[in-house]
Amino acid sequence: MESCRVLVIEDHALVREALVRALDQLDVPCHHAQAACAGEAMALVEAGNEYDLILTDLMLPDMSGFSLVSVLAHRFPTIPVVVVSALADEASVKRALKAGAAGFISKTMSSGQLVGAIRAVLEGGVVMPDNLSAAPAQPRTGRRRGIDSLAEQYGLTAAQTRVMELMVEGRTNREIADLLGLAEGTIKVHCSAILRALGVPNRAQALVVLARQGLRA
């Protein structure tokens, strides 16, 4: 990625400025826009401005952050939305992910951790607080090692690898979303990243490529 475009949604100016400073520490040039409420954010996105990532707080003055995440995930499913909040309890994290968030960053993170989390999402991953995980760990069986090998070959993140595995099993986006506890829009983002990595235009051709390399249901 040569550069990135990020929309920061946060009603507290000092927090917005801290997030922008963190974005300046990324390895690539970052062009950012700022919004103090959901209404301002929606106006920017609906105006046709293209973003690679949206960062939003949950406590907004005009709309629940959970509701905003849900609206963005349904109307603009290709833009990953990450919650940045002090409410990092398990219930809030799972609710945000279910609404369509591509990750959840705690405001207690250091600037270095914040930069790492943002970088992971820009690469297609799902970030969560350290005490939680997006999906249960899988035993490294022979098939598991084969999947991990292919994921490394194509540069897939852990989240994309899990989605790819379920794709090979014949699961629909809705089924994958239910199994991983994520929104269907988030799964679509991961699937698009997988297709790009494999260099194919659709899921059927992706399955052919993966089958030729020994990855079958």
Q: Which two tokens stand for residue 217?
A: 């249901």
Residue 39, sorted as left (phi over 0), alpha (psi -120 to 50) or beta, turns out to be: alpha
Residues 6+ apart with CB under 8 A from 28: 1, 2, 3, 4
The three-state secondary structure class of 83 is strand
**Percent with pLDDT over 70 in the chain:** 90
Mean pLDDT of 109-136: 73
Comparing 1 with 182, which gets the higher pLDDT?
A: 182
For 40-88, what is each residue's pLDDT tens digit?
999 999 998 889 899 999 999 999 999 999 899 888 877 889 999 988 8
pLDDT for 145 equals: 66
Q: Which pTM was predicted?
A: 0.64
- Residue 155, CA distances (Å) to 136, 148, 151, 201 in order: 21, 10, 6, 18
Residues 6+ apart with CB under 8 A from 39: 62, 63
Judged against a pLDDT cut of 50, whether residue 140 lies above it is answered with: no
Judged against a pLDDT cut of 70, whether residue 198 lies above it is answered with: yes
- For the chain, the average pLDDT equals 84
